[in-house]
A and B are shown apart, each in its own frame.
Chain A
């Protein structure tokens, strides 16, 4: 669902965003727009600042220079409009609340009346395939199901923007692929805009409308953004056919160099 360039105001704009940590420049000034309805993946080697960039977009950290604009407004802190899926689902779920209770937290935060919560929780759990596990506690679930529960909580926020920080990095390959397909479907059904950080090149190409490749240790001659690549593989995508598509193989070859060094 690539929106034509210039189609309306960007939902998210990085305007010369730079990040310094401990006196070192992690991210050199970066300017990128994320269009409404777009699925943008950020890849790069560890230490390239991709998670920090995402955290700046979410308002968890303030950029050292430049600013992040959400719907044209400067971001000063987190907002329920932009949901954040953490990689470590085990730490992001409240262990003392059931799956339904964790999802309900998002509704309580939004001030949804108690009577309306139960049907909305049930509906969200249905969409992520956890309807049968509503009463279970996080530690009683597998990693994949815990991550589904966290995604359910984020969907219950009814966000316009979904930020995902290596959400499937800790999962086994089979679970990862099925969750990729489900998130892809959910996002397109709901018209969500997604900013997705991963170190997995194939995941980025498979999911993304656009891939931003970052490099570590930026210099004046080699800024953080190494490449921004449109993924022009015709949809609908599928794990088998997409990954054998000539364009997929070409993009993988092209982007590989940014990860290898």
Chain B
């Protein structure tokens, strides 16, 4: 057996065993439970949700909102963080403001976002954007501070304008660290998007799992739980792959 396959099979052993135990419990002692359903039934419910299209619609909504919020938060954090990182004066003036706003829990903004935007994608991605903005701002600022001052002198010696200096010198120099930051932000974005849906927004995967719970359908609820975990795993794996690819490219280049 190829060693890679062995590793995968060994890794799968424990989850499969747990699933089998749950199946046994749900069909045996927990037969009358309103909270649990056998995994086999959950799988059937997942298949049904996939067949009637509700699975894909909800997934697309959640991923779309998370991606939009991430894009907005990342763009703002990139511009502001670069500025605060490169200008010592801007860093000093903004320090306290950032430290005061950063600990505000993003989900505490849900009521405000609802008042401003109502239900829908806009309130969701605005909360996501707020949630990812602060950690990204701190990471981008650190990345900008670590750009070699010699490279900035080269830019100055060549009289590069602010836009060219950013695009040709600062951004490529920060790129490996930006990908690390992006990977962290992806995880936050997905968690916050689902949380907003569970708490308030009647759309997406978070709302679907809430609905299944409220209609006392544990099989469907477990199906959504399993699916959300799977989507989270896939999104994080994608982000990790992107980061490693970027690191390798930069490694080959420098």
Contact = CB atoms under 8 A, between A and B. Distances in A.
A258 interface: no
Interface string B144-169: 00001011011011111000100011
B164 A109 contact: yes
Contacts of A96: 172-173, 175, 250, 253-254
Interface size class of A (residues with CB under 8 A): 20 to 34
Nearest to B176: A96
12 contacts: A60-B156, A78-B153, A92-B153, A94-B168, A94-B169, A96-B172, A96-B250, A96-B253, A96-B254, A109-B158, A109-B160, A157-B158
Contacts of A77: 156
B151 A78 contact: no
Contacts of B169: 94
B159 A80 contact: yes
A158 B148 CA distance: 25
A108 B254 contact: no
Interface string A16-50: 00000000000000000000000000000000000
Interface stretch (A82-90, A116-124, A228-236, A240-248): A82-90
A109 B162 CA distance: 11
A83 B166 CA distance: 21
A108 B159 contact: no
A95 interface: yes
Contact of A138 (B173, B175, B254): B254
B168 A105 contact: yes
A137 B251 CA distance: 11
Return the 4 tightest CB-CB contacts between A and B, nearest first: A95-B254, A109-B158, A91-B150, A96-B253
Interface size class of B (residues with CB under 8 A): 20 to 34
A109 B150 contact: no
B159 to A, nearest CB: 5
B172 A78 contact: no
Contacts of A91: 148, 150-151
Contacts, number: 59
B212 to A, nearest CB: 49
Contacts of A109: 158-160, 164
Interface of A: 58, 60, 77-80, 83-84, 86, 88, 91-92, 94-97, 105-106, 108-110, 137-139, 157
A95 to B, nearest CB: 3
B154 A92 contact: yes
Nearest to B250: A96
A94 B155 CA distance: 10
A192 to B, nearest CB: 16
B104 to A, nearest CB: 37
Contacts of B151: 91-92, 94
Contacts of B252: 137
Contacts of A97: 253
Nearest to A84: B157
B150 A88 contact: yes
Given A79-B159, A94-B169, A108-B164, A137 B154 contact: no
A137 B154 CA distance: 17
B150 A92 contact: yes
Residue of A79, A80, A96 ringed by the most chain B CB atoms within 10 A: A96
B189 to A, nearest CB: 28
Contacts of B253: 95-97, 137
A80 B150 contact: no
A105 B173 CA distance: 15
A117 to B, nearest CB: 14
A78 B156 contact: yes
Contacts of A95: 250, 253-254
B157 A78 contact: yes
Contacts of A105: 154, 158, 168
Interface string B218-254: 0000000000000000000000000000000010111
A86 B254 CA distance: 19
A121 to B, nearest CB: 15
Contacts of A80: 157-159
A207 B250 CA distance: 39
B156 A106 contact: no
A139 B159 contact: no
Residue of B156, B164, B175 ringed by the most chain A CB atoms within 10 A: B156
A84 B172 CA distance: 22
Contacts of B159: 78-80, 109
Given A94-B169, A94-B172, A60 B153 contact: yes
Nearest to B169: A94
Contacts of A137: 252-254
Nearest to A138: B254
